[in-house]
Amino acid sequence: MKKILLVIKREYRTRVKKRSFIIMTILGPILMASVFILPVFLTQMSDGSAKTIVVLDETGVFYGKFKNSDNMQFQYTVTDLESAKENLRQNDDYALLYIPKTEVTVPTSANLYSDRQPSINVKSYLKNVMKKEVELLKLAASGIDEEVLRSIKTKISINTIKIDESGSEEKTFTEVSMGLGIFAGILIYMFIFIFGAQVMRGVIEEKTSRIVEIIVSSIKPFQLMMGKIIGIAMVGLTQFLLWIVLTFAIVTGFQLAFTNQLPKDEMQKMIPANSQLTIEAGEEEIAEQDNDMARIFEAINSINYEVMILSFLFFFLAGYLLYAALFAAIGSAVDSEADTQQFMMPVTIPLIISIVIAQFVIQNPDGPVAFWFSIIPLTSPVVMMARIPLGVPYFDLYLSMGLLIIGFIATTWLAAKIYRTGILMYGKKVNYKEIWKWLIYKR
């Protein structure tokens, strides 16, 4: 055991001192935090000048209907189309909205001329204004009061409440659980690949440099393999925990600084142009937005972080240990990384299948596909993590954990038989037949 601990310490200290580890530990939280920060930052730092849009409305229906905002300024013209196009080029306006007169009573299309690609916010705002005005015209022509039509519009919300065996009720949010499950599955998939490949490369490097010949003179191959696998697992956990802590610190610090420094009028400017319609739509829609935000925060608070973190740590560690043993066996059987391709396929196929199956599992977490793929050790780390946020029976969870531990022990035993022979074999192209001989060889 002492020798394994020595290998673990060596692997851990060597890798955490590497420049690549330090760089990725810093870049990882920055990249993850940028997912939350960048959209807000870009919105604030975007050009504050309003876009000037010239409106040429031959129908006269939409005159004065497009309201100026901090993002867009509207100018109305009564010239012909060609003159309006020429003025667009000369005045360097953002766009020209041309609404042609049609044979029917209400227009249903318009042309937006610009010397650049108009943004989706601009198009959405123009379309929504026109749609609203045309609908009002149609209602008036049919003799229908707009208030009557608005009063019959009803928004239906369905709350999902889970009842456990004791009869207690808990409000759940299916969309959040689905997103969290697939995100956790993808994280485990990525970490197993990244750190499993590090084990394989480390074995190949020691083998090709012949340093392994010196190491195995004082330690058994199995002890060397286990020390390397556990050492790199600790490196991965360290980096993962640092990512979580630093990402949380960056996002929290940015939120505090951003909300304190940004005045309310600047907050108003950050609202996309097409959301101005919502602001002008009345107190009812604003209240709906507030309710939506409240539901979002309620959904976030409903996540059982303790269960998710503990489950993630277990399935990451157990899944990594299972696959890392296989990666170590592959590394010991070849002389260069280029020779690993033929042996990587059988190992990576279950991982690829698991990430594909996870997308179907979140749609039906209690089906037979979800059950079997979440208990098979080669696919359970990813698939079970996709199921856990949606609710998993304790029997399924414990069965999956037990089989995963057994699978890790079995793969470690098989990998050790390959490792102890392949680690000292040089200059020979190994195939599956040769590996089979190593597995059945008795000492």
CA distance linking residue 340 with residue 333, whole number of Å: 8
Residue closest to 396 by CA, chosen among 310, 309, 320, 311: 311
* Structure tokens belonging to residue 270: 């950050």
pLDDT of the residue at 283: 46
Mind listing the pLDDT tens digit for each residue in 261-281? Answer: 544 444 444 344 444 444 444
Task: For residue 112, give the H/E element and its range.
Answer: strand 111-113
pLDDT of the residue at 270: 39
CA distance linking residue 197 with residue 91, whole number of Å: 59
SS3 136: helix
Tell me the CATH architecture of domain 51-142. Answer: 3-Layer(aba) Sandwich (3.40)
CA distance linking residue 388 with residue 383, whole number of Å: 9
pLDDT of the residue at 170: 64
Please compute, for residue 308, the number of CA atoms within 13 A of its CA located in the half-sphere on the CB side: 17
Q: Parallel, antiparallel, or unpaired: how do β-strands 111-113 and 95-99 relate?
A: antiparallel
**Cross-strand bridge partners of residue 172:** 160
Please report, in angstroms and rounded to a whole number, the separation of the first and last CA atoms in the chain: 22
Q: Are 188 and 316 in contact (CB under 8 A)?
A: yes
Is residue 124 classed exposed, middle or buried when 0-12, 13-18 and 19+ CB atoms within 10 A define those classes? middle
pLDDT of the residue at 165: 65
pLDDT of the residue at 264: 45
pLDDT of the residue at 122: 84
Phi, psi of 170 (to 5 degrees): -140, 130
Low-confidence residues of the chain, pLDDT below 70?
Answer: 36, 39-49, 103-105, 156-173, 213, 216-217, 255, 258-304, 426-427, 441-443
pLDDT of the residue at 402: 93
pLDDT of the residue at 36: 67
Q: Where are the domains of the chain?
A: 2-30+177-440, 51-142
